[in-house]
């Protein structure tokens, strides 16, 4: 146990990174996990009590999980492997609300939830629910599930999410060392995506509408770090494309992609992720940023193509903005597309058009909605993916295939998020990082106008094993 406030907050050498990877020898690094756990407990305590340093005596005296009869604790411990018991010996007992998605320490049996023969030696449970899902998330909750046989963890928030993590042998990519999950949570705090603090109130007494808050913790639709990281990702990608073009073919441009006045003309709301991004990122010096998708050099055409920014939307909502269009390619507004873009309009999408331009749109959001990702995107295609239900095809980050007949799920997360959350859009910075890898590996080629191939090239997502057009799972 760390013995000073400074030591409990000093966890740089415990965080998982490329330079400091998680232990990969099939055991639990219980000391490292305990340090990360204790940091979260102390961080929450400081936010709750508006203190700059934790009070270790208070942390040690507050009880929740351990505040039960000794025989009950002993019964729990007999089901746990030695490293998990060592983890319990080193941690502070979290109060309810350990983090945005999880409530408190549970250590209850989980074998009944996982399909298969889970019997282990010495009558120990194979699966243990370490942290329970925050009850405010809804019903059928589960939590962080720990496999005592493989010493790996995953986070099926609900019982329905179990199909994404078991059978375990078929979903190994969705199971991680426990320190990896804890590091992701701490990372989201550090970048300002999830913040801790007592619930704010508007003058009316109502909660704020620009975030989703559960108790002490709030999820922000976007944060400044995400703007900066997405700007950097797009500019890395542009550099990769431009380096493969002849100097004579590069357009003589150095300004940001848009001015505020140009975005005003297109009806893009103030103070939102997509406006911040488009007024900061440098204009790519080529025509096609992806197969068939144009860089919006023609600002008048950009304004004409917008379908959702100038129709009424909720005060706490941001409508979808078409950023990179597929010229002259339209798609009918059927149920999938109507549902996606009506989110920002209280599901009452009053639009005269029966079709919309295709291309890459910013994510339409209602900011007060749980798990919303304003820094997300959707590529609206002019054709279906997996047009036949029996057909294998494009896969999402959670390993599942896109929905048969989908027009909008290419490069998306899927419903399962191994570090918390359900169903939010994939992040735009992750998309451009993936596109950079596709350029560097030769999956996409570059010509005189930028990335080659019409939008029909994206049908390749339905060929092969589907992973080339998929983004690795992350937060």
* Angle value at C-alpha 211, between 205 and 214, nearest 5 degrees: 75
Angle between helix 224-242 and 428-441 (nearest 10): 20
Torsion of CA 234, 237, 239, 242, to 10 degrees: -120
DSSP state string for 27-93:
S--HHHHHHHHHHHHHHHHHHHHT-SS--HHHHHH--STT-S-HHHHHHHHHTS-HHHHHHHHH---
Query: Is it the case that residue 201 has pLDDT exceeding 80?
Result: no
> Residue 178 and residue 230: Cα distance in Å, rounded?
28
What pLDDT shows up at residue 423?
83
Question: Hey, is 237 helix, strand or coil?
Answer: helix
Cβ contact 51:43 at 8 Å: no
> Residue 219 and residue 196: Cα distance in Å, rounded?
9
Task: Verify cis geometry, omega within 30 degrees of 0, for the bond prior to 398.
Answer: no
Cβ contact 328:359 at 8 Å: no
Classify residue 271 as left (phi > 0), alpha (psi -120 to 50) or beta.
Answer: left
Cβ contact 332:354 at 8 Å: yes
Query: Is it the case that residue 1 has pLDDT exceeding 60?
Result: no
Backbone angles phi, psi at 282, to 5 degrees: -70, 145
Q: Among candidates 413, 430, 420, which has minimal Cα distance to 186?
A: 420
Query: Is it the case that residue 401 has pLDDT exceeding 80?
Result: yes
Q: Which helix (H) or strand (E) holds 238?
A: helix 224-242
Of the chain, the percentage scoring pLDDT greater than 70 comes to 97
Q: What is the pLDDT of residues 364-374, one digit of tens each?
A: 999 988 889 99
> Residue 440 and residue 243: Cα distance in Å, rounded?
11
Cβ contact 402:426 at 8 Å: no
In this prediction the pTM is 0.94
**What mean pLDDT is predicted for residues 156-176?**
92
> Residue 157 and residue 148: Cα distance in Å, rounded?
19
User: b vs e for 178-206, b when ≥16 Cβ sit within 10 Å of the residue's Cβ?
Assistant: bbbbbbbbbbbbebebbbbeeeeeeeeee
Mention every residue, 6+ apart, whose C-beta is less than 8 A from residue 298: none
> Residue 246 and residue 10: Cα distance in Å, rounded?
49
- pLDDT grade, residue 122 (50/70/90)? confident
| DSSP bridge partners of 282 | 256
Domain positions in the chain are 5-196, 221-462
Query: Is it the case that residue 204 has pLDDT exceeding 60?
Result: no
Query: Is it the case that residue 205 has pLDDT exceeding 60?
Result: no
Cβ contact 59:102 at 8 Å: no
240 burial type by CB count under 10 A (0-12 exposed, 13-18 middle, 19+ buried): middle
Cβ contact 236:445 at 8 Å: no
What's the helix, strand, coil split of the chain in %, to 5? Answer: 35, 15, 50
Q: How far is CA 227 from the centre of its chain?
A: 15
**What mean pLDDT is predicted for residues 469-475?**
93
Greatest distance between any 2 Cα atoms in the chain: 78
- pLDDT grade, residue 175 (50/70/90)? very high
| DSSP type of residue 299 | H
**What mean pLDDT is predicted for residues 400-409?**
95
Query: What is the dihedral sign for C-alpha 71, 75, 76, 80?
Result: positive
Token pair belonging to 412: 């998306």
> Residue 391 and residue 335: Cα distance in Å, rounded?
22
- pLDDT grade, residue 62 (50/70/90)? confident
- pLDDT grade, residue 118 (50/70/90)? confident
Lowest mean pLDDT of 103-107, 129-133, 329-333, 463-467, name the range: 463-467
Query: Is it the case that residue 210 has pLDDT exceeding 90?
Result: no
């Amino acid at each position: 146990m760390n013995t000073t406030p400074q030591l409990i907050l000093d966890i740089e050498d415990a965080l998982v990174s490329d330079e400091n990877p998680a232990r990969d020898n099939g055991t639990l690094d219980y000391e490292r996990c305990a340090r990360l756990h204790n940091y979260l407990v102390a961080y929450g305590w400081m936010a709750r009590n508006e203190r700059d340093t934790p009070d270790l005596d208070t942390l040690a005296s507050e009880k929740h999980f351990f505040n039960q009869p000794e025989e009950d604790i002993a019964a729990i411990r007999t089901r746990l492997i030695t490293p998990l018991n060592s983890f319990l010996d080193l941690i502070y007992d979290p109060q309810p609300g350990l983090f945005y998605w999880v409530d408190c320490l549970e250590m209850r049996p989980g074998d009944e939830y996982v399909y298969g023969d889970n019997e282990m030696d010495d009558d120990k449970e194979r699966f243990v629910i370490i942290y329970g899902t925050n009850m405010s998330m809804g019903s059928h909750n589960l939590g962080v599930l720990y496999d005592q046989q493989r010493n790996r963890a995953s986070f099926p928030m609900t019982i329905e999410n179990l199909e994404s993590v078991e059978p375990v042998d078929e979903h190994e990519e969705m199971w991680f060392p426990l320190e990896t999950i804890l590091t992701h949570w701490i990372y989201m705090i550090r970048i300002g995506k999830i913040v801790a603090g007592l619930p704010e109130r508007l003058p009316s007494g109502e909660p704020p509408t620009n975030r989703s808050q559960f108790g002490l913790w709030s999820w922000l639709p976007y944060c400044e770090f995400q703007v900066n990281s997405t700007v950097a990702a797009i500019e890395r990608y542009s550099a990769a494309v431009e380096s493969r073009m002849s100097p004579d073919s590069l357009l003589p441009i150095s300004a940001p992609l848009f001015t505020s006045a140009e975005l005003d003309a297109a009806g893009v709301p103030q103070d939102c992720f997509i406006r911040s991004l488009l007024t900061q990122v440098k204009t790519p010096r080529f025509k096609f940023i992806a197969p068939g998708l144009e860089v919006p050099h023609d600002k008048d055409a950009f304004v004409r193509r917008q379908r959702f920014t100038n129709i009424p939307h909720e005060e706490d909502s941001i409508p979808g903005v078409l950023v990179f269009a597929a010229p002259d390619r339209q798609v009918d507004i059927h149920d999938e597309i109507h549902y996606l873009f009506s989110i920002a309009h209280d599901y009452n999408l009053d639009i005269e058009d029966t079709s919309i331009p295709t291309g890459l749109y910013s994510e339409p959001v209602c900011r007060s909605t749980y798990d919303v990702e304003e820094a997300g995107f959707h590529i609206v295609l002019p054709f279906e993916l997996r047009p036949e239900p029996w057909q294998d095809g494009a896969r999402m980050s959670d390993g599942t295939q896109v929905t048969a007949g989908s027009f909008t799920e290419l490069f998306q997360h899927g419903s399962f998020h191994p570090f918390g959350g359900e169903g939010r859009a994939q992040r735009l910075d992750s998309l451009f990082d993936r596109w950079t890898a596709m350029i560097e590996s030769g999956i996409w080629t570059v010509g005189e106008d930028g990335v080659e191939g019409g939008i029909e090239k994206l049908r390749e997502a339905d060929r092969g094993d589907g992973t080339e057009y998929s983004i690795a799972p992350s937060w």
